[in-house]
Amino acid sequence: MTADLSLFSSIANPHLDYSRLFQPCLGELVGTTFFVFIGCVSVIENVESTGRFQPALVHGLAVAVMVACMAEISGSHFNPPFTIGIYLCGGMEMSMVAPYIASQLVGGVLGAAMAMTSSENFAKAHGAAFALLQPDDEVAGAVFGEVAMTCLVTMVVLLGAVNAKTRSPLVPFMVGCTVVINILAGGDVSGTCLNPARAFGPAVVSNYWVRHWVYWMGPITGGLIAAALVRLLLGDRKMRLIFK
């Protein structure tokens, strides 16, 4: 009977379902699409004289702008490890995790497709989840780099946006700066992807899957470590599971 009443309530108020479910997922799809598009183009058209600075700045600014714009619509995740970490820290309902991640992956594909359509150099691109890892002995370092750097940026997200004690209105700027720092520091280690959706899109449109698992295993592990740190040690009394 409760389920029936819930169904009738949903039918009677479709706006509730749109603003609670569909609009946030649409925000994630649109935000991820434009982030991946801008990020891919910055790598594709990167001029050698600028080194890593151009893609680092572009990725960081794109993140900051999209986070600020979409924060009140979807929470501005645009990244599966962020979504998983935010859920584990109590920042969203479990029922929204899968729709968010699906929206992010579709957005990644759309963004990469837009980048491929707009540039003839797409297939020649290197870095940021493009064909960067070649020798087998680079893989372990790349996985560790993705774990560490994703842990850092996810921790910034969780402390800046979810944890009540450290919540800050500057979180878009903080996350953008962290992305810039990570790319400048670790671009040669793994390409500094930090985001499975950012890797998935280019992999789909170019049909290039060599060592693609690195950009899933590394970021998701990093996100889980960040969530554990916040839930166990760094969060406020309400957030922490121990030492209350």
Q: Which domains does the chain have, with CATH numbers?
A: 18-117+125-234 (1.20.1080.10)
pLDDT-above-70 percentage for the chain: 84
Contact present, 118 and 41 (Cβ < 8 Å): yes
34, 67 contact by CB (below 8 A): no
Q: What is the pLDDT of residue 45?
A: 67
Side chain identity, residue 192: T
Task: Give the angle subtended at the CA of 191 by the CAs of 197 and 57, to the nearest 5°.
Answer: 85
What was the pLDDT predicted at 95?
94
CA 151 to chain CA centroid, Å, is 12
pLDDT at site 190: 85
Rounded Cα distance between 161 and 155, Å, is 10
Residue 203 has phi, psi (to 5 degrees) of -65, -40
> Over the stretch 66-87, which tens digit does the pLDDT of each residue have?
999 999 999 999 999 999 999 9
Residue 129 has pLDDT above 80, yes or no: no
| The three-state (H, E, C) secondary structure of 76-129, written as one string | CCCCHHHHHHHHHCCCCCHHHHHHHHHHHHHHHHHHHHHHHHHCCCHHHCCCCC
Residues 124 and 172: their CA atoms lie apart, in Å, by: 31
> What is the average pLDDT across 167-195?
93
* pLDDT-derived band at 48, boundaries 50, 70, 90: low
Q: What is the mean predicted confidence (pLDDT) over 115-123?
A: 72
